[in-house]
Chains A and B, each alone.
Chain A
């Protein structure tokens, strides 16, 4: 479903602030994979998701989604393959538009936007049913401005918008990090439900190791712009937080030792 082949990205190249964010990144996702992504700050997790979405161009390498090479496509043209939820609840929705208008915008992702009605009465009924899945009472507030919703409600709505067109790939970029623990748990639950019910392929970046273990069928750990650890199936199910932390220091520690060996 997704192939990332030898992708590299350096921000601010040629300056003192040069930062190699992705370094020879390779990844293959099968259809239906739900991958959790962990790693330290600056490991390249968010950059990887932004590269897939086309927020920045790659320096080299290629990105293929469901057999289509999207490496050179601009962000808005890749959107038809993707559903995205961001860390900041403000990013994923248009605050000054109604709940139903936001859903209608998402429902037209990948289609040409014509002079037909922006939202039809039939859609309104569908959205009402769809919003019931969230169990947040939003189905009674179809015409409320999204700016009036809480962060958790906005993230839940963004999730619904992201999955409404059954994307080839759902990208969740620390989408619960800005929420309080209780709301975060609820949004995670909704994410899991939507992914399972729609049979989506998904990637979820998280800082919470417990969540990374509990959700999905596969886990990858990133460090210094590439993947250092990749487990799936039974092996992933038996992971513990301790084992993961040990693995992290062990793997990055080994690299550290190698670097020192090179330098000395």
Chain B
């Protein structure tokens, strides 16, 4: 009973974190599902977003302008990975790792040190974990929730435009896309940029929420993003077919991920094991479609064999 109360009181915090990471996970969805590229830049660009926002806010920049700057920084990071891949012919995973590594230095340079705190008592912020139970607009549940809805609406519109459709086609069938006059390389760069823009935007929110930016804050974020995408698809894939709803299912996936994490911590799991747990869960979920295919294949073979013997 006490555990239940603990969980309930931690719920607004978990949901807030889930909402913040949902923006990041939607960025991962753009590359992993739409472009069919696993982009590891995000581990670096997430921290870049946090660093840029925190430094700008500390220097008295307008809060929303700081968010926009974080988004722009993410766009640039994505452009680097995109060009490493398309212009320099480096495989996308490696291109992402190269950018991610260089962003570590850049993030240190932006902040001047490994960790930069931003105190909500001294500085005005958009959101903070202290406000998760406030009944006001600055409650992260409301601010981030609204931003998320606006972002999903914008992405839904964009991927319905001529340009957005051609990006979807690029991910589904690059050969067909070229034959239809689509500049596949340009679209890949654009898609990776947009993805990292969202990831950095999410990092900017998280830095304010937790009250600091850290060069390591993005470590393993690709796994959290993938977990959200996969959980969302597993639970809502059958009912959510529309593109906007699919993005929404990614957001739900992220929230559920954080509720599950909060639950296992409350139940007494060693917090040091969290990353291992996340990785194992993602690995299993990634394996399931593969196992399913193998099972149906061997099943079909047996069936066929039976027929010929009969």
Contact = CB atoms under 8 A, between A and B. Distances in A.
Interface stretch (B47-55, B168-176, B298-306): B168-176
A119 B230 CA distance: 30
A84 B181 contact: no
B193 to A, nearest CB: 16
Contacts of A79: 178-182
Given A75-B178, A92-B179, A97 B162 contact: no
Interface stretch (A107-115, A186-194, A247-255): A107-115
B163 A115 contact: yes
Nearest to A110: B181
B169 A94 contact: yes
Contacts of B168: 94, 96-97
Contact of A76 (B162, B164, B181): B181
A118 B182 contact: no
Interface residues of B, number: 22
B184 interface: yes
Contacts of B165: 97, 101, 104-105, 113, 118-119
A70 B158 CA distance: 32
Nearest to A158: B176
A108 B181 CA distance: 8
A97 B169 contact: yes
Nearest to B241: A145
Given A92-B176, A113-B162, A76 B183 contact: yes
B159 to A, nearest CB: 8
Contacts of B60: none
Nearest to A95: B172
Nearest to B187: A113
A117 B160 contact: yes
B176 A80 contact: no
B249 interface: no
Interface residues of A, number: 33
A94 B161 contact: no
Contacts of B184: 76
A142 interface: no
A95 B184 CA distance: 17
A153 interface: no
Interface string A46-78: 000000010000000000000000000001110
Contacts of A80: 181
Contact of B180 (A116, A118, A161): A161
Q: Of residues B162, B166, B184, which shows the largest number of chain A Cβ atoms within 10 Å of its Cβ?
A: B162
Given A94-B169, A95-B172, A96-B172, A118 B181 contact: no
Nearest to B181: A79
Contacts of A109: 180-181
Given A95-B172, A113-B166, A106 B180 contact: yes
B231 to A, nearest CB: 21
B175 to A, nearest CB: 5
Contacts of B182: 76, 79, 105, 113
B172 A117 contact: no
Contact of B178 (A76, A106, A161): A76
B176 A118 contact: no
Contacts of B158: 115
A208 interface: no
A93 interface: yes
A159 to B, nearest CB: 13
Given A76-B181, A118-B164, 13 more contacts: A76-B184, A77-B181, A80-B181, A84-B179, A91-B173, A91-B176, A104-B165, A108-B162, A108-B181, A111-B181, A113-B162, A115-B162, A116-B161
Interface of A: 53, 75-77, 79-80, 82, 84, 86, 90-97, 101, 104-106, 108-111, 113-119, 161
Interface of B: 158, 160-166, 168-169, 172-173, 175-184
15 contacts: A86-B175, A90-B173, A91-B175, A94-B168, A94-B169, A94-B173, A96-B168, A97-B169, A105-B180, A108-B162, A109-B180, A109-B181, A113-B182, A115-B161, A161-B180
